């Protein structure tokens, strides 16, 4: 009986596995969108536009994927897998762009929610960014408001 339980869990896990660059990127950025437990259309639109700007992925695809994660009420408990794959495939500057997107989405509502900030900090650390760069990005986004 117990082996049947583990088998069903492993089958479910293998069905939902998508290790594409885009999927990893969407999953990390979506964590910022959902961190404050409020998903707004403004955040999804902004994230979609920024992903297109920095990573040349069409906005329509981005919106579709972010909305799909929202519809599934997706919640990541472990960001290390996504961030590790991005860390190894992106340059340092591109990883800084990911955090820049996170901060811009985080500040979309004009509030610096602590849950969102701690999620951005966690993602930054997992992507291997130095604290000085995280702070530089944060200050740059806050100063632009």
Which residues are within 8 A (CB) of 30 and not within 5 positions of it... i.e. 6 or more apart?
A: 47, 66, 69, 70, 74, 76
Condensed to tens digits (0 to 9), the pLDDT of residues 107-117 reads: 998 889 999 99
Q: What is the pTM of this model?
A: 0.84
User: Domain limits at 25?
Assistant: 20-143
Residues 40 and 70: their CA atoms lie apart, in Å, by: 10
Residue 119 lies in a domain: yes
Q: Tell me, what CATH number does 131's domain have?
A: 1.10.3680.10
Cβ count near 107 (within 10 Å): 19
Residue 130 lies in a domain: yes
Cβ count near 35 (within 10 Å): 20
Residue 53 lies in a domain: yes
Tally of domains in the chain:
1
Task: Write out residues in the chain with pLDDT < 50, as ranges.
Answer: 5, 8-9, 11-16
Residues 44 and 52: their CA atoms lie apart, in Å, by: 12
């Amino acid at each position: 009986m117990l082996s049947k339980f583990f088998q069903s869990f492993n089958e479910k896990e293998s069905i939902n596995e998508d290790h594409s660059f885009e999927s990893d990127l969407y999953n990390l950025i979506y964590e910022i969108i959902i961190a404050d437990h409020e998903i707004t259309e403004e955040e999804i639109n902004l994230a979609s536009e920024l992903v297109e700007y920095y990573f040349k992925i069409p906005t329509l695809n981005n919106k579709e994927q972010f909305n799909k994660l929202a519809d599934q009420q997706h919640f990541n408990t472990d960001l290390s897998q996504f961030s590790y794959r991005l860390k190894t495939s992106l340059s340092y500057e591109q990883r800084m762009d990911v955090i820049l997107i996170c901060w811009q989405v985080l500040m979309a509502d004009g509030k610096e929610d602590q849950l969102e900030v701690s999620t951005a900090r966690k993602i930054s650390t997992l992507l291997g960014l130095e604290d000085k760069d995280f702070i530089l990005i944060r200050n740059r986004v806050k100063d632009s408001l």
